[in-house]
């Protein structure tokens, strides 16, 4: 599917997603990340199980989903990069193009630190294969992780390797690169998860792990837990950073955007729950702390697998699974600056990708070295890894999400939105469009602002 892209007076031929499954797989790949493997299941279990899930689903319908639908709709309508999208659709003379700039900055900051974490995952595939981390002694697994992150050469090697890997896929283009890879990776992700779930459910204390995840405990549903669910609902769907607007620009004209986003939400939730079923029965069986956070992946999991039959092979499968989850998210994040450079400056995709990789290699290196060479360098009492995480998560993403909601609900306006979301009247979803407009105008921005203020520790 070829589309016309216009940016800064240039007209370029651009590709798009060619199949409905390709659209779903790529969009789901953007939403799924390493957080699905440990953060979401842990937060669910620690904050009330099924009760937290209900709050999360409600928050998703009020916060994350409307902004996701708005972003994709804007992208498909303009069929250009996020900066040019806002320029093209905004009223004359209004600086809404800055929303695209905010998204690009957010994408750069996130990839800068996230690529380092993904580098650890790829490094652990190699460690799992050679068996060096297969130990029931937590001191051994802690030492292995500390050795990796404190070694500047290893940190840079794996981070730059990830950037080259993702950049190589992006150079293939939207159809042969992003879509083709997503269509292979997403089924593989579910297949690996189901394999690990089957093993995990056979363990002695599988029931305790499942109870941790799913048993309702409404006594834990405090105001703080509700805010946690709201924040998770916003950040989990990759909105506010230009990724969904970029992928939306590759959507087919006949794609039903609300239905697609609901499927993405359901599948994303399914991945998180399957990950919880795969991990927590094993964690409880062998007496580890489910609250280990990021270290659960790199310290606790190897110790858990060391005590399971065929543990080394299953550990390799686990880290390949984590790499698959991370790859889809990395593709969508890096595609934002690539398509902006490609369309705004008229560069080839190859040049745009190489420039993006070089910039990220420089910017990301300060995060990669945060646990070694630059360990003592801090701003606002944060090292560069934590600073980039804090600024992107608590400032750029919420500001971007609020701006997209307000732009779609007010500046772009009711008629344009209804026409775009109904595929020019072909879909009978006018009532849904009015509900979404109400949420985008009055509900989503307020709730995102509350999440932002909580993240900034205003209250």
- 39-to-135, 297, 307, 399 alpha-carbon distances in Å: 23, 10, 23, 23
Does residue 5 carry a pLDDT above 60?
Answer: no
Q: Output the pLDDT for position 308.
A: 86
Q: Output the pLDDT for position 409.
A: 96
Q: Output the pLDDT for position 11.
A: 46
Quickly list DSSP for 151-193.
Answer: -HHHHHHHHHHHHHHHHHHHHT-IIIIIIHHHHHHHHHHHHHH
Q: Output the pLDDT for position 2.
A: 44
d(C-alpha 276, C-alpha 242), whole Å: 29
Query: What radius of gyration do the chain's Cα atoms show?
Result: 21
Does residue 6 carry a pLDDT above 60?
Answer: no
pLDDT digits (tens, 9 = 90+) for 105-155: 999 999 999 999 999 999 999 999 999 999 988 788 889 999 999 999 999
Does residue 194 carry a pLDDT above 80?
Answer: yes
Q: What is the mean pLDDT of residues 412-430?
A: 96
d(C-alpha 99, C-alpha 102), whole Å: 5
Mean pLDDT of the chain: 93
Does residue 250 carry a pLDDT above 50?
Answer: yes
Q: Output the pLDDT for position 69.
A: 98
Helices 39-46 and 223-236 pack at an angle, to 10 degrees, of 160
Percent of the chain with pLDDT over 90: 81
Q: How confident is the model at residue 419 (pLDDT cuts 50, 70, 90)?
A: very high
The CATH number given to 20-456 is: 1.10.4160.10
Q: Which is higher by pLDDT, 243 or 295?
A: 243
pLDDT digits (tens, 9 = 90+) for 68-118: 999 999 999 999 999 999 999 999 999 999 999 999 999 999 999 999 999
Does residue 8 carry a pLDDT above 70?
Answer: no
Q: Where are the alpha helices (DSSP H) in 286-346?
A: 294-295, 301-305, 311-344
- Other CB atoms closer than 10 Å to residue 401's CB: what's the count? 33
Does residue 408 carry a pLDDT above 70?
Answer: yes
Ranges 36-50, 315-329, 343-357: which has the least confidence:
36-50
- 439-to-64, 147, 420, 446 alpha-carbon distances in Å: 11, 48, 17, 10
- Token digits of residue 330: 């990395």
Does residue 10 carry a pLDDT above 60?
Answer: no
């Amino acid at each position: 599917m070829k589309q016309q892209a216009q940016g800064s007076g240039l007209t370029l031929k651009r590709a798009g997603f060619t199949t409905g499954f390709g659209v779903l797989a790529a969009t789901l790949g953007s939403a799924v990340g390493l957080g699905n493997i440990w953060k979401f299941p842990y937060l669910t279990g620690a904050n009330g199980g099924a009760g937290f899930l209900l709050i999360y689903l409600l928050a998703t319908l009020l916060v994350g989903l409307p902004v996701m639908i708005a972003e994709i709709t804007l992208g498909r309508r303009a069929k250009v990069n996020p900066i040019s999208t806002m320029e093209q659709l905004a009223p004359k003379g209004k600086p809404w193009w800055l929303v695209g700039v905010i998204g690009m900055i957010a994408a750069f900051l996130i990839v800068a630190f996230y690529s380092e974490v993904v580098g650890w995952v790829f490094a652990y595939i190699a460690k799992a294969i050679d068996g060096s981390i297969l130990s029931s002694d937590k001191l051994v697994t802690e030492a292995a992780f500390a050795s990796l992150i404190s070694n500047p050469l290893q940190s840079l090697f794996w981070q730059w390797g990830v950037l080259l890997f993702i950049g190589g896929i992006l150079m293939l283009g939207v159809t042969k690169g992003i879509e083709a890879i997503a269509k292979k990776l997403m089924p593989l992700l579910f297949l690996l998860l189901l394999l690990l779930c089957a093993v995990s459910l056979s363990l002695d204390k599988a029931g305790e792990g499942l109870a941790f995840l799913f048993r309702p405990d409404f006594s834990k549903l405090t105001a703080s837990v509700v805010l946690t669910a709201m924040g998770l609902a916003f950040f989990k769907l990759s909105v506010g950073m230009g990724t969904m607007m970029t992928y939306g620009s590759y959507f087919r004209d006949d794609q039903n955007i609300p239905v697609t986003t609901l499927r993405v939400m359901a599948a994303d939730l399914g991945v998180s729950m399957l990950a919880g079923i795969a991990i927590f029965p094993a964690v409880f069986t062998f007496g580890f702390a489910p609250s280990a956070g990021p270290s659960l992946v790199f310290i606790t999991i190897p110790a858990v697998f060391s005590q399971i039959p065929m543990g080394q092979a299953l550990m390799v499968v686990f880290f390949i699974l984590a790499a698959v989850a991370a790859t889809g998210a990395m593709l969508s994040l890096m595609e934002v600056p690539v398509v902006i450079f490609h369309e705004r400056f008229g560069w080839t995709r190859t040049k745009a990708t190489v420039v993006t990789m070089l910039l990220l290699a420089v910017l990301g290196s300060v995060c990669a070295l945060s646990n070694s060479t630059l360990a003592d360098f801090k701003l606002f009492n944060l090292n560069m890894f934590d600073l980039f995480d804090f600024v992107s998560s608590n400032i750029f993403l919420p500001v971007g999400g609020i701006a997209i909601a307000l732009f779609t609900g007010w500046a772009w306006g009711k008629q344009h939105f209804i026409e775009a979301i109904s595929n020019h009247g072909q879909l009978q979803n006018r009532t849904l469009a009015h509900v979404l407009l109400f949420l985008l105008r009055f509900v989503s921005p307020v709730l995102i602002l509350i999440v932002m203020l909580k993240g900034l520790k205003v209250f």
